[in-house]
Amino acid sequence: MARGEHPKAPGEETDPKAFKILKEKSIDSKTGLPRTLDPSLFKGKAKRAYQIAREIPEVLAQVPCFCECEAFGHENLLDCFIDEHGAG
């Protein structure tokens, strides 16, 4: 695997156009931010990470992600938790 290349996890959207559609469909009308996946879909540390993301989306929306997922259309750390990317 080339440096900076990420394997696609099941349920992870790697097409930027498809991710944008997913993100738009997940917008919470109360906050204006995308909803995260349900933490109960995960186990262990991934479950805890999704719980935290669900609790503080406004914070994560202001934090840049450093895993090079902008190639998938992610704009901030919150975007990693609206699909399964945050579990990988």
Q: Residues 30-53: pLDDT tens digits?
A: 999 999 999 999 999 999 999 999
In a domain, 52, yes or no: yes
In a domain, 7, yes or no: no
In a domain, 71, yes or no: yes
How many domains does the chain fold into? 1
In a domain, 69, yes or no: yes
- Per-residue burial over 10-36, b if 16 or more Cβ lie within 10 Å, else e, is eebbbeeeebeebbeeeeeeeeebbbb
In a domain, 11, yes or no: no
In a domain, 80, yes or no: yes
Tell me: the pLDDT tens digits for 60-72? 999 998 878 888 8
Domain with 63, as residue range(s), is 16-87
In a domain, 22, yes or no: yes
In a domain, 43, yes or no: yes
- Phi, psi (degrees; rounded to nearest 5) at 33: -110, 155
